[in-house]
């Protein structure tokens, strides 16, 4: 059986800005309206359900909310330096220097804030928030940079 959640249809989305250090076009600060989608495969449990939709959607919404209206910065980038000073955060990389209010930024444990890395990160947050029952055999999560353009992630790929 296959459970599928389309974040675009269920309001599981977030608006954020980011940049990809060193990329010609994507190296400039820009934003996206991101959507999160999920596919889960397996058999039914003792309640004749693959998994409760409410639990899945609640966890995805909470993840989206944490990322919403923030500047996404990769704290593990080998190409950048991050300095914190009081209420400000300074991000230096690829010949650029950005200074943001700390409350407007979320530092992500990533090397880059590409859709590929964001999909892995959302996957990781989801499996920490929702313990998967034994009947779930496969989980995939997508992060779309816009409707119809996204990256699917599953750790077995």
Active site residue 145: yes
Active site residue 26: yes
CA-wise closest residue to 66 among 114, 118, 19, 112: 118
> Which of 26, 41, 111, 116 is the catalytic position?
26
> Which of 23, 30, 62, 69 is the catalytic position?
69
Active site residue 30: no
Place of tokens 């966890």: 59
Give me the count of residues in the chain: 157
Question: Mind telling me the catalytic residues?
Answer: 26, 69, 145
């Amino acid at each position: 059986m296959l459970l599928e959640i389309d974040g675009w249809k269920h309001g599981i989305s977030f608006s954020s800005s980011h940049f990809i250090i060193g990329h010609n076009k994507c190296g400039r600060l820009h934003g996206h309206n991101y959507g999160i989608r999920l596919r889960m495969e397996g058999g039914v449990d003792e309640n004749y359900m693959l998994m409760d939709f409410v639990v899945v959607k609640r966890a995805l919404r909470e993840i989206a909310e944490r990322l919403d209206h923030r500047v996404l910065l990769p704290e593990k980038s080998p190409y950048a330096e991050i300095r914190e000073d009081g209420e400000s955060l300074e991000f230096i990389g690829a010949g650029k220097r950005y200074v943001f209010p700390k409350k407007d930024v979320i530092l992500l444990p990533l090397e880059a804030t590409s859709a590929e890395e964001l999909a892995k990160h959302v996957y990781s947050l989801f499996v920490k928030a929702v313990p998967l029952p034994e009947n779930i055999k496969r989980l995939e999560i997508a992060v779309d940079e816009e409707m119809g353009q996204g990256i699917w992630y599953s750790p077995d790929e």
